[in-house]
Structures are given as C-alpha cells and as structure tokens.
Structure 1
C-alpha cells in the first residue's frame, strides 16, 4: 500500500509538471518516513554527508572552466586547427565539428557547455558551406553527447558520488568508448557527405591556425595527461584546467576581462544552484536505500528474470532511451 501511494504521488507530480527536485524530495521524504528512520530531519543530515566529499568541488570548477573557454577564444582556436586538418575530407567541416566537440568535452566535462561553445561557431559555418539544417543540428547534438562519455565527465563524477565508485576508474573506462564514438560519428559524417566538394590541404593555413592556437591545443594534453598518469585527481584536474584557462585567456589571448569573468561566475552559479539540490536529495535517498540493501535486492530480482548479459544490456539501453525522452538534462 505504501509503495502504491509513493508511485501515485510520483505520477501525480509528473502530471502536474513539477520540477525534478520536488519529485525527488517527495520520494526521499516518503522513503525516510515509511522505510527509514522515521525522521525528516535525517534528510538534511544525509544531504550533508553525501555532499561532504572533495570530488564534489570538481563539478563547479569544470563548469566554470567551460564557461571561461566559451567566453574567451580557446574554443574558436581549437576549431580553427581542426577545421584546417579536415578540409580534404568529404564533409570535413562536419568532421571538424565532431572532433571539436570531443576535444572540448575532454576539457569542460559538460555536454551542454560543449554544444553551446561549438554550436555557436560551427552551425553558421556549416549552413554557409551548404550542409542541410537537419544534418548540421544533428552533428552538433550528437557531438555534444560525447561530453557524457569522454573524461573528465560531470555525469561520471555524479554517478561516482551516488554509487561510491572510483571516479578515476570511471574516467579510464570512458576513454575507449568515447574515442570509438568519435570515430564512428566522424566516419558517418564522411559517408553522408561523400558527394560534397572537398578542398586541398593547405599547410600554410594549418600552420597559422596551429601557431595561433598552440596554447589552446596544449590544454587537453595537460589535463588528460595528468589524469591518466595519476598525477591529478578529478578535483585537482578541474582546478588546473580552470587556472590554465584563466591564465591563457587573460594574459596570452587577452580576451577575458573582469566583467566577462563576473558573468561566467554568475552563469555557473545559476547552473550549480539548479544542479546541487538534485545531487543532495539523490545522495540522501541513496543512503537510505543502501541501508536497506535496496540495490542488492533489485540486482537479485533482475538476475532471477534475466540470465543473458546481452539481454540485460539491451533492457538497460531501452530504459535509458525511455527515461532520456522524458527528462531534460
């Protein structure tokens, strides 16, 4: 009866189009009262316990770093280098878009920031070059999703917090699939635009773009090299990325002013203000579920129904597809 009441409450809140944080907080309150310790004050305590971790600091730092690069010229310089490299390929501008998204995602850790930074530059360029509207938008949207897989990834950090999984191990596991997805999207872009006219490789133009963007190109090398060598933790990598981006934009490129940085901090604060309540409530709910061995019970139940690993992966992806259609980022 309690379970049905909880399910009905969630469905009702969804029908009323309530914010996700309200729905999660309702679920957390019901779970605490019905199956937990029976004290709503424990929700606040569990929120603090869940957020009292060093790795949580990496989330706003990565978001702020992405904002600095978008306001400055790091993103544009990276795009110019990659565009000069992919000119000889059919659909070279689309390939440059995918590669730019992959490189930018490896710095910012955010799909939203990646799509904004790359899309504002590449969408008009692709349309002007003769690419159709649907393909141009599709290239940017699909390239932006690489920010979820390619480390450092903010969703990976959040998942690691909730499931108490090593964030460094998740970063290492995401590199291969991220590279494979990048190659697959690039190959599709070449195949789809096979008949489009190409341009000869211009080493002079490439060298100019490379010299102009050398400091921007070094950023993902330093960041990923530090993470995979074990020299940086996720939080340290975020701090180094932000410091590097600020130094380059202020003192080298000279395209970041105090007013620009203030606006970036303001935008990051707004995004963090909507993100961290969700994380806090989810972590509070997670603590109660772990205390009552809910994840283990769910795994045992699923194992009793599904014996094939392939079928399990298919069902998980179907579930993610359905949930992804109903939820915004």
Structure 2
C-alpha cells in the first residue's frame, strides 16, 4: 500500500458517507496491521500517548468560556459599544456586526458560538433598520466565520496538535489575515449600504456603552495579552479566561446563574463528546504515520508529479475548498493536516503559513453549500429559506477568496508578527 492509498481510502469512505470516527478507526487499523506492529490494541496505547498533552485541556476550557459568555450578556455589551462607535458610518450597523463578531471571536474561538451570540441580536436589528435581507444574513454568517481565524481559535489548536506547530505562532499568524478580512468585510458593508441613512455620533452614548461594556472588552486583552506576553501558556490563558468570564457574568453583569452554568457545561460536554474521540483516533493514526515515514513517502510521490510550488498550492487550495464544503473544519484538519503540512514544507511553505491558508480555506467552507456549517445553523436560527441563505453567502465567499489569494501570494500578511 503506497502513501497515496491513504488519501484514496479517505476519499472513498467519504463518498460512501461513513462517519469520520469509523473512517479514522479503519485507517488506523489498516496502518497498524500493514505498517505497524500488527496488533490493534496498540491503537489504544497510541491514543493515550496522543492525548497526554496539557494543550488539549485548553479546548474544553475555551469552549466553556465561550458558552458562559454566550449565555451571559458579554455579546450584547460589545454590540452596544460597536454600534455607538459606527453609527455615523454608512452601513454602520453592518460594520458594527462584523466588528463585534471579530472581537467576540477573539474571546470564544468558535464560529458557531460567535454567529449565534452576535447574529441573534444583530440580524433583527439590521432588518428593522432597513438593511437588505441578504446582506444582513451574509454579514452575520461571514462575521461568524472570523471565529476560526482570529485567535484564540479551536481549529488552530487542533492544527498545532496534529502538525506539532507552535500554537503561539499560529495565533500571531492569524492576526494579520483576521484583521485584513475584517477590514474587507467592513468596507463592503459600507459600500453596499452607502445610501442608507446614518445617525449622528454621540459621545454620551459611547461613554455609557463603554461604562457598561468595559469588563467585556477586557476579556480578549487578558487572554491574548497573557499568551503573547509569555505570562500564560495557551492552557493557562483558557483557564484564566474562563474564571474571568464566570466572575464578570455572575458578579459584575449579574446575568448568569446556576441554571446558566449547568446549560453551559452541558453544551460544552456535548461538543467535547463529539470532538475528543475523533482527536484521540487522529492522534493515534498520526503517530503511526510519522513512525513509518508515510508523510515523507507522500512527499516523494507528489513531487514526482508536481514540480512547481505555485501549481501545488493552487491544487491544494482547490482540494481544501472542496473538502470544506463536505467536512467540518475540525474533521478536515484531523484527517488532512498531518499529510498536507509536510507536503507544503517540501514545496517551501512554512507550516504556520500553510496552517493559516488551510484554516482560511475551511473558513470559506463554512459558507459554501451544500453542508456549510454556518449555512445550516443560520437556516435554523433565522428561519429563512435555504436558497436565500446560499445567495446571501455568495458575495462574502468572493471577498474571502480574495483574502485567501492575498495570503497565498504574500505570506508576510500572516507572518509579520511571527518571530524568526
């Protein structure tokens, strides 16, 4: 069995619509029997080895932190600040929606949490203010995708785990593309809604919003400031962020009780229950692949067919765009990142840059039919026809493809803040 058979096996099982856990277990069993030590019980041993990492604790902590703030009033307070700041701009509510998504994403690390926390408030507000339905839907869905690009990001943590990349470098690399995409989306919001009436700027309203929202605005400062300064590890930052969110929501905002905590813990447990079995099997498979030099064999096979780095990155981007339409971000990273990251390195791309391009691709997949996750969640949350939701996403997909092309052509957009 050649290294290319691994990718072919994944493709066939995906076409047959098998659950990802079944796919990963089948691949792990095949690799153990053919290349490994010939005993399937070693899969369990490798799972323990793969999961024996402190960094993995940061995932449920960030998820719980986001759930706490979603059930509390953090999102509403950030929205009030952004509305007060942007009310004088054309399309001010649209700009406020995107800026709020960007800021809330830097707290929750989750696309779906961001879209629901912000969208359930901003979508009806934009419709009441006369914004076009498709723009309002598209802004909420596209703004939600910033949750997997702007750090801290759960997909970045997963990518770092399976490719052994620096999480801090990945977080720093996400800042440039995240800010660029935010600026592009805000500019589009102002241009599309340039004929809508604006409101006069009110310093008094801004001061009131800041007074009520200052504790919420400090959350990303504490989490990201602690990580980038080296004062916290990623896991410690997640724990501090969760403790801060609980204290602020329960003692300062007073919008969070025991019932809310119970619901937040249950939501996080459900997400973790679906994610961690996949992560355990993926890390087990990754250990065997590395031990038997499967990624290196794949590099040799692909380089025999493709000798141009430009051709390689175009083909990989097309592959990832297709994969993003069919798989969730976490699934795609767990399956493909261990194989594609060494390939990208062989063609001269830094693993961190490639990780950002991969996450950008999969971010676009959140908005791409037929199974874009944000489309499906928006269908349930906003009660709009699926065709209308798909059409609303199209202009934002085009803008995001432009940002992806810019990062692929100019990697310094991602690497400007990353040390040598």
Normalising by the smaller structure, the TM-score range is over 0.9
After superposition, the Cα gap between the structure-2 partners of 1:2 and 1:295, relative to the gap in structure 1 and judged at 3 Å, is closer
| CA distance in structure 1 between the partners assigned to 2:176 and 2:5 by the alignment | 43
* Helix, strand or coil at the partner of 1:141: helix
Q: Residue 288 of structure 1: CA displacement?
A: 0.8
Q: Corresponding residue for 1:259?
A: 259
Q: Corresponding residue for 1:20?
A: 20
| CA distance in structure 1 between the partners assigned to 2:76 and 2:17 by the alignment | 38
Q: Corresponding residue for 2:289?
A: 289
Q: Cα deviation per residue 1:28-66 (whole Å; 9 max; x = unaligned)?
A: 111111222111111111111111000000000000000
- CA contact under 8 A between 2:84 and 2:206: conserved in structure 1? yes
After superposition, the Cα gap between the structure-2 partners of 1:2 and 1:217, relative to the gap in structure 1 and judged at 3 Å, is closer
Q: Corresponding residue for 1:105?
A: 105
Q: Residue 256 of structure 1: CA displacement?
A: 0.7
Q: Corresponding residue for 1:114?
A: 114
- CA contact under 8 A between 1:66 and 1:113: conserved in structure 2? yes
- CA contact under 8 A between 1:2 and 1:34: conserved in structure 2? no
| CA distance in structure 2 between the partners assigned to 1:266 and 1:231 by the alignment | 31
| CA distance in structure 2 between the partners assigned to 1:268 and 1:187 by the alignment | 35
Q: Cα deviation per residue 1:11-32 (whole Å; 9 max; x = unaligned)?
A: 6643553321111111111111
After superposition, the Cα gap between the structure-2 partners of 1:100 and 1:325, relative to the gap in structure 1 and judged at 3 Å, is same
Q: Residue 321 of structure 1: CA displacement?
A: 0.4
- Equivalences for 1:24-63 in 2 at 5 Å? 24-63=24-63
Q: Corresponding residue for 1:96?
A: 96
- CA contact under 8 A between 2:3 and 2:298: conserved in structure 1? no
Structure 2 gap segments, 5+ residues each: 330-420
- Equivalences for 1:58-73 in 2 at 5 Å? 58-73=58-73
Deviates more, 1:246-255 or 1:183-192: 183-192
Q: Corresponding residue for 1:165?
A: 165
- CA contact under 8 A between 1:108 and 1:114: conserved in structure 2? yes
After superposition, the Cα gap between the structure-2 partners of 1:131 and 1:227, relative to the gap in structure 1 and judged at 3 Å, is same
Structure 1 gap segments, 5+ residues each: none
TM-score (norm 2): 0.75
- CA contact under 8 A between 2:84 and 2:205: conserved in structure 1? yes
TM-score (norm 1): 0.94
Q: How many residues align?
A: 329
Q: Residue 308 of structure 1: CA displacement?
A: 3.6
| CA distance in structure 2 between the partners assigned to 1:221 and 1:325 by the alignment | 34
- CA contact under 8 A between 2:109 and 2:152: conserved in structure 1? yes
- CA contact under 8 A between 2:4 and 2:298: conserved in structure 1? no
Deviates more, 1:58-67 or 1:94-103: 94-103
Q: Cα deviation per residue 1:221-254 (whole Å; 9 max; x = unaligned)?
A: 1111111111111101100110000000011011
- Equivalences for 1:131-280 in 2 at 5 Å? 131-280=131-280
- CA contact under 8 A between 1:107 and 1:219: conserved in structure 2? yes
Q: Corresponding residue for 2:75?
A: 75
- CA contact under 8 A between 2:10 and 2:23: conserved in structure 1? yes
Q: Corresponding residue for 2:320?
A: 320
| CA distance in structure 2 between the partners assigned to 1:171 and 1:2 by the alignment | 35
Q: Residue 212 of structure 1: CA displacement?
A: 0.7
Q: Residue 303 of structure 1: CA displacement?
A: 3.5
